Amino acid sequence: MRGLITVFRKEVRENIRDRRALFNSLLLGPLLFPLLFVGMMWFLESAEQERAEQALELPVVGAQYAPSLIRYLEQQGVVIQPEPDDPEAMVRNQETPVILRVLPEYPERWAEGLPAPVEVIMDPSRQESKTAIRRAKTLLMGYGQRIGSLRLQMRGISPQLAAPVMLKDVDLSTPKSRAILAMIFLPYVLMITAFTGATHLAMDTTAGEKERKSLEPLLINPVPRWQIMTGKMLTTTAFAMASLALTLVSFRIVLPYMPVGAFGMDLTLGLMTLLRILVVISPVAILAAALLTLLASFAKSYREAQSYMGLVILIPMIPSLIFMANPIRAEAWMMMVPLFSQNILIGEIIRGESIALSWYAMSVSSTLVIGIALAVLAATLYNRPRLIFSGS
């Protein structure tokens, strides 16, 4: 084991002096992801708020047919704009998000007490027009309900008769559990961080060592090759773990600044929560270090190794993307699937749910088994001479 520890200590010392390693493992993930997400949320939120608070500018075609509707809209703060020549073209060209068209038969049908037609001209596939469309429709519905109630009252009928069902929300979500709505990306980010934090080290200690021609002299030392490889993988794991821990700390600092709109959300990540997440994600760091080291060992140079890594980084994304696209109820068997189980568990931890210890155990051990199997494979790889000399 002496050799293993020597290799570990030397790799740590060498890579701490490597700006590229520090940048990739300890700076990029921990700083970039939290700032990126919070910044993005903040930007979306403020843009959304701006759209919601701005006076709604609404061009209306045929305003003369519905003077009372127009009055109502103006009372609600809508700025009615004059009739455009070609409303469809205007919406299509994104000059305005939504236009109303009161049809000529409106007054006639209104007078007869029949539904009077108003067209809402819009393109809902335009993300940025959604708010304006929603606001215009809500106002129109509000006007309709108000007139409907008045008509019933005038005929001596209680408007309540027209509302046979009363809906009441009984909200069981807690500020803590609602936090997952804002943090849905966290498992995904952590999974990627485990891999990005390990990537540079995995490549530098294998393909890089081959490229620099220091592998052959290293292997002439009286240390079993599995110890050399394990020392290298431990360094890679340590950097991945450091990367994960820093990312979590950085989220803890940054998350309270995240705008969460009207929902009450508890976005603090307590120390216990952080530790639980770290326990759950740690086996992924080992898995990533072993897998990446295994792959990079086949490469002749750092550059060649890099070309494999682009594909590998997809692996941690797959379960997260499946889970985000199709959220399913957590079940015990899922704990046996590496990467998938971590996604579920981290979600539950953030929601503040209590989780069975056996689930933790299953997730950690199933991931560890695969990680260690890959590590064993990687550790024996350099017993094959072809891999040692493939660079020269």
Sites of contact with other proteins (CB under 8 A): 2-3, 6-7, 10, 13-15, 17-18, 209, 212-224, 385, 388, 392
Can you read off the two tokens belonging to residue 151?
A: 């008509």
Name the minimum Å distance from CB 127 to other proteins.
Answer: 48
**Checking DSSP bridges between strand 98-102 and strand 118-122, what pairing results, if any?**
antiparallel
Decide whether 219 or 315 has the Cβ nearer to other proteins: 219
User: Helix, strand or coil for residue 268?
Assistant: coil
Nearer to other proteins, 12 or 368 (CB): 12
Closest to other proteins by CB, 115 vs 217, is: 217
Which residue number, 10 or 252, has a Cβ lying nearer to other proteins?
A: 10
From the CB of 221, what's the least distance to other proteins, in Å? Answer: 4
- Rounded to a whole number of angstroms, the minimum distance from the CB of residue 209 to other proteins is 7
SS3 of 99-143: EEEECCCHHHHHHHCCCCCEEEEECCCCHHHHHHHHHHHHHHHHH
What DSSP designation does 105 have?
Answer: T
Least distance between other proteins and beta carbon 390 (Å):
12
- Smallest separation (angstroms) from other proteins to the CB of 389: 8
Residue nearer to other proteins on the CB measure, 102 or 234: 234
Beta-sheet strands, E only, within the chain: 57-61, 79-81, 98-102, 118-122
Alpha carbon of residue 58 to chain centroid: 35
Distance CA 288, CA 66 (A): 66
CB of 271 to other proteins, least distance (A): 35
Cβ neighbours for 192, distance < 8 A, ≥ 6 positions apart: 29, 33, 313, 316, 317
CB 59 within 8 A of CB 82: yes
Comparison of 223 and 279: residue with beta carbon closer to other proteins: 223
